[in-house]
Amino acid sequence: MAELFGMTGKIARVDLTKETVTVIEPAEEIYRKFLGGSAMGAYFLFKEGIFDPKLDPLGPDNLLQFMIGPVTGAAPNARITLVTKSAYNIFCASTCGGHFGSELKYAGWDGIQVVGKASKPVYLAVLDDTIEIRDASHVWGKGVEESELILKSEVLAELELREGMLRDADLNPQWAAMRPPKRLGLHAKRLAHVMAIGPGGENQVWYSCVVTEGARAAGRWGAGAVMGSKNLKAVVVRGTKGHKLADKKTFLALVSGIQKSERGDYFWRSYGTAGIGANSAYVEDAFPIRNWQWCSWADPHVKAITGPFMDQTSFVRKTSCYGCNLHCLYPVEVTSSDPLMDGTMSDMPDWEAMGMVGGNLGYMEMEGTDPGQPFTGSVKDQAEHLAKLQYTTFLHDDASLDFIEGGNNLALVMELVQRGFIDKNDLDGIDLKWGDVHAVDEILKKIVAREGIGDKLAQGTYETARYFAELKGKPEIMNYSMTAHHYGQPAHDVRSPKDKNALEYVTVNRACAHTGGGTGGFKSGDWAAAIAGQNVNAAQNSLVHCQFAAGHWAGNRIDLIKAATGWSDFSDEDMQLVGAREYALSRLFEIHIRQLKDPKEEYDKQVPPRWFNDPLPTGPEKGAVAYEGKPDVLFNEALPAYWKERGWTEDKGVPTLDTLKKLGIDDVAGAVASEHL
């Protein structure tokens, strides 16, 4: 094979049943077609037959992939994408920041694929070319943060071992005095990076995620449950090889330009998404409050939950993902008069957590009031409300749960209690009322342990609604499941014209993702623009880099790929094709694994009726509903037009054979498509 640049040309394949490690060497043509990350992962789901409807997502035959791309390594804003068949029986391509992706490249791998199931808890120790399957019984049952700290000290490169073994007595006094003790052993300058699951993943809670650095998560669609089903606690990577680039000088000059641009981004460097967060309620009227019954508060005093407010009460320090100069991440120490929460080390929270396990759980109002009433509390009360949402963020992160799906799930149950459909007798005696963090703490423990009612709730929002609808003989309970493609809606509503468009959530290829792109095109009905936006975001998840930095990468992205790979003719059109291939494959994947005869009726139309039926009750967009309350316009006019623009059939949204041929993937997915056309 010709020498590759940017990529290493090697993907490790670990079979936990057979306890073997083999190496896959994809042809350069495959890298050009899919780059890496999400698109490459989608390709392997087809190549390895994971589209088989009989293949159990939580069985040993499922394929869990940790995938990076050609610029991952020396480029800033690095991420990794986890691709698998989700426990929800949907396409999972979930990205994660931190340093793990770059470290994997430095170890000499473009990805790790895991199949099979270990007979006991294990972790993978990746030290450059060597991959060992090691016993993980000592960390099984522990939260992600503690597990990470323990496992980091067990996979040490020669450098750390050397530093760790040297004693002060081995050095002359001057050198010994200069050597900071924190550089020793576990505290060496560079250590392995870890992606781990907590007890939520071990117990296969469907919406379990995979976490690195305590709170950076491949958050959505349940890769953690798949990892737990394989008895795989963690992957620990230490790489010392570097990143082989075709044109190092140009690449590093481009990196320097991106980092300089990022340093001028005052807004993002201040508080990241937390800088807007709950304040968006008063501008966009699209923030989740009490299971989306409200999207803004009537009284703007609630908006004290801001980046600066969090900074004053709890921020410890700034951190960032690899090479990022935006550093939008903040570990916090929770301050509260409630001993349950006080002193907990947590994460910011960011916009999504502020919404999904903050506003959506009724944490921000005073007890006995609702979001339509005046705020009667003090600044101290607001600080306690912040503590609740930071603590609930921690509970999700440490157990490795997606707080977007988790927040929808808890809010659904709270609304069912509010409306009298269920009560504490249906919840093992837990009185799950708006704003009650102790009740949330109790029920989350049950969900994580899959104990009692927690076992039902562990299958996520849609299945929770189905369970109670059947139990109570009340099909209308499904109306309160805030899910599209059976997965929870993120903290952006579709009724306000200022935020997401409903068709975005219906068409995005990763169920109900808020980072799908193309918003402007969806709003204006310019389907070509909408699709171009979706394609470029999918390609970003294949490179893989952070979408928050997309503005700083714009104009540099193609040149970076060229400098990394040496593909001098690589173009924006090629980026579009990468995204279009991923969209076609993931659409076919979901249609096939679900064996959908009429995908629109059976799947696409299962969105929250609240979008069309419940006008926004407060705020600048008071009275707004999605598509003027006419779902037929969305599903019978806009959706077929979008599908047609993609080269998919207008009735079912199936990519045609002609389209697959144009995309160069008819050999990969043509046979599957033929079954559904």
Q: Give the number of other Cβ atoms within 10 Å of residue 630's Cβ.
A: 13
CB of 326 to ligand SF4, least distance (A): 4
Q: Based on CB atoms, which residue is closest to ligand SF4, 302 or 546?
A: 546
Cα-based distances in Å from 602 to 268, 293, 584, 652: 41, 26, 19, 10
CB of 456 to ligand SF4, least distance (A): 34
Could you give the CA distance from residue 22 to residue 116 in angstroms, rounded to a whole number? 13
Could you give the CA distance from residue 343 to residue 381 in angstroms, rounded to a whole number? 17
Those residues whose C-beta lies under 8 Å from the C-beta of residue 371, and which sit 6 or more positions away, are: 289, 290, 293, 294, 296, 297, 298, 302, 364, 365, 618
Could you give the CA distance from residue 175 to residue 548 in angstroms, rounded to a whole number? 43
Could you give the CA distance from residue 608 to residue 412 in angstroms, rounded to a whole number? 12
CB of 171 to ligand SF4, least distance (A): 37
Q: Based on CB atoms, which residue is closest to ligand SF4, 69 or 97?
A: 97
- DSSP letter (8 states) at residue 624: -
Could you give the CA distance from residue 532 to residue 45 in angstroms, rounded to a whole number? 24
Contact at 8 Å (CB) between 297 and 288?
no
Q: Based on CB atoms, which residue is closest to ligand SF4, 77 or 280?
A: 77
Q: Based on CB atoms, which residue is closest to ligand SF4, 103 or 285?
A: 103
CB of 505 to ligand SF4, least distance (A): 22
Q: Based on CB atoms, which residue is closest to ligand SF4, 219 or 377?
A: 219
Those residues whose C-beta lies under 8 Å from the C-beta of residue 509, and which sit 6 or more positions away, are: 91, 93, 516, 534, 538, 582, 583, 586, 587
CB of 216 to ligand SF4, least distance (A): 7
CB of 272 to ligand SF4, least distance (A): 6
Could you give the CA distance from residue 49 to residue 33 in angstroms, rounded to a whole number? 19
Could you give the CA distance from residue 113 to residue 285 in angstroms, rounded to a whole number? 42
Q: Degrees (nearest 5) of the Cα angle 560, 565, 568?
A: 80
**Amino acid letter for position 590:** E
Determine what percent of the chain falls in helix, strand and coil, rounding each to the nearest 5.
45, 10, 40
Q: Based on CB atoms, which residue is closest to ligand SF4, 144 or 477?
A: 144
Q: Based on CB atoms, which residue is closest to ligand SF4, 308 or 615?
A: 308
What are the residues binding ligand SF4 (CB under 6 A)? 77, 97, 272, 320-321, 324, 326-329, 546, 548-549
Query: Which of helix, strand or coil describes residue 213?
Result: coil
Could you give the CA distance from residue 469 to residue 475 in angstroms, rounded to a whole number? 5
Q: Based on CB atoms, which residue is closest to ligand SF4, 320 or 344?
A: 320
CB of 350 to ligand SF4, least distance (A): 9
CB of 318 to ligand SF4, least distance (A): 9
CB of 575 to ligand SF4, least distance (A): 19
Q: Give the number of other Cβ atoms within 10 Å of residue 589's Cβ.
A: 21
Q: Based on CB atoms, which residue is closest to ligand SF4, 75 or 361?
A: 75
Contact at 8 Å (CB) between 481 and 608?
yes
Those residues whose C-beta lies under 8 Å from the C-beta of residue 568, and which sit 6 or more positions away, are: 562
CB of 287 to ligand SF4, least distance (A): 20
Cα-based distances in Å from 509 to 193, 372, 409, 590: 29, 35, 22, 9
CB of 327 to ligand SF4, least distance (A): 5
Q: Based on CB atoms, which residue is closest to ligand SF4, 272 or 275?
A: 272
Tokens at 276, concatenated: 């807007």
Q: Based on CB atoms, which residue is closest to ligand SF4, 75 or 458?
A: 75
CB of 273 to ligand SF4, least distance (A): 8
CB of 585 to ligand SF4, least distance (A): 26
Q: Based on CB atoms, which residue is closest to ligand SF4, 272 or 377?
A: 272
CB of 576 to ligand SF4, least distance (A): 23
Cα-based distances in Å from 394 to 123, 390, 674: 23, 6, 46
Sequence length of the chain is 677
Place of tokens 């989350």: 444
Tokens at 327, concatenated: 């550093």
**Amino acid letter for position 195:** M
Place of tokens 């392995």: 192
Q: Based on CB atoms, which residue is closest to ligand SF4, 70 or 97?
A: 97
Tokens at 283, concatenated: 């501008």
Which of left, alpha, beta for 143 (phi over 0: left; psi -120 to 50: alpha)? Answer: beta
Q: Based on CB atoms, which residue is closest to ligand SF4, 284 or 347?
A: 347
Place of tokens 């704003």: 435
CB of 218 to ligand SF4, least distance (A): 13
CB of 353 to ligand SF4, least distance (A): 13
Tokens at 662, concatenated: 């144009």
Q: Based on CB atoms, which residue is closest to ligand SF4, 202 or 213?
A: 213
Based on the number of CB atoms within 10 Å of its own CB, is 74 exposed (0-12), middle (13-18) or buried (19 or more)?
Answer: buried
Q: Based on CB atoms, which residue is closest to ligand SF4, 146 or 265?
A: 265
| Cα maximum dimension of the chain | 80
